[in-house]
Chains A and B, each alone.
Chain A
Amino acid sequence: MTTTDMTSRSRIAAQVVSDFFGAYRRHDIEAMVEKCTDNADFSYVPFELWGKQRVLRGDGKVRTIGKVIWTGLINSFPNLFNEVHSVDANEHGDVVVTCDIGGTQQIAWALAAPQGKKFREPHLFLFHVDESGLIDKVKAYWNNAGINTQLGHLEVD
């Protein structure tokens, strides 16, 4: 793991986010949420389901959209893991994390039927940690087609 030279604020922010990923590894969603403000923003950019009359996106709040997605992921991939590669933070509370997330599919996830296949995909997470040490923004980018391909789901939904 690489970590930038840090001020006190950046060090705290990096630690909070590292703890968040620790809770994620333990599948402790309540602990993940407790590290966030009540109104923390949430955006999983690739999370996008196109219907005939609407598009569902992974945007909203940690305590509503985020918690539901994390719960669903862990249900679908009971051995879900994350491996953090780098944590870079600044004195404004911004934290950038590179990691791999993966697991073995047991039940349906989005439109991907379970075939017992594994995935492991690089992710980039962007966090903001406020001055009280709570996360008030979670945003992530990854290649969802990479995950679907590894799971054997080849249709572009």
Chain B
Amino acid sequence: MDMTPEQTVQAFLTAFQLGDVETAMSVVGGSVQADVFPLGVRAGGFDDLRGLLGEIVAAFPDLRVTVLNVIPTGSVVTVELKVEGTQARDYLGVVNQEKHLDLDEAWRFTVAAGRITAVGVYWCQGQLYRRLAVKRVDQIAIV
């Protein structure tokens, strides 16, 4: 019997919280549509999503992902979460200054037959830059 959409998303989140990218991606469909709006990724795919999770896990070894709210609406499950950690290597082009990140995010998942088929990711890149001590959005590698 297939998992409910909420159970599928919970499995993804639990693995993400543990930093286990491959297990998280095991509930993601191979033809998933990934929109990571802060990074300008529209209609991205499986590798884009896996790459994002891998970047986060690698850049913040003390990663803490706290699920704040889960809103199931049929096949769509929306999750509010907080991502926290201390930067330990360059992240999305931002030079590592060992700053602490705490970022509120919202992820909107679409699930079918126990697999995530679409995900839209929302956070404010301005808040991320501010916490990682970036001064200008067009010079993120200059400190």
Contact = CB atoms under 8 A, between A and B. Distances in A.
A and B: bona fide binding partners = yes
Interface of A: 4-5, 10, 45-46, 48, 50, 86, 88-90, 94-96, 98, 121-124, 126, 141-146, 148-149, 154-157
B137 A124 contact: no
Interface of B: 35, 37-38, 40, 69, 71-76, 78, 80, 104-106, 108, 120, 122-127, 129-130, 134-138
Given A46-B126, A145-B125, A146-B40, 19 more contacts: A4-B75, A50-B130, A89-B73, A98-B108, A121-B37, A124-B78, A124-B108, A126-B69, A141-B106, A141-B122, A141-B123, A143-B37, A144-B124, A144-B127, A145-B137, A146-B38, A146-B125, A155-B136, A156-B134
B122 A90 contact: no
Contacts of B75: 4
Given A141-B104, A141-B105, A146-B37, A90 B73 contact: yes
B31 to A, nearest CB: 18
Contact of B137 (A5, A48, A149): A149
Contacts of A149: 137-138
A126 B130 contact: no
Contacts of A45: 104, 106, 124
Contact of B126 (A4, A95, A122, A156): A156
Contacts of A121: 37
A143 B92 CA distance: 15
Nearest to B136: A154
Nearest to B42: A122
| Max chain B Cβ within 10 angstroms of own Cβ: one of A5, A98, A154, A156 | A156
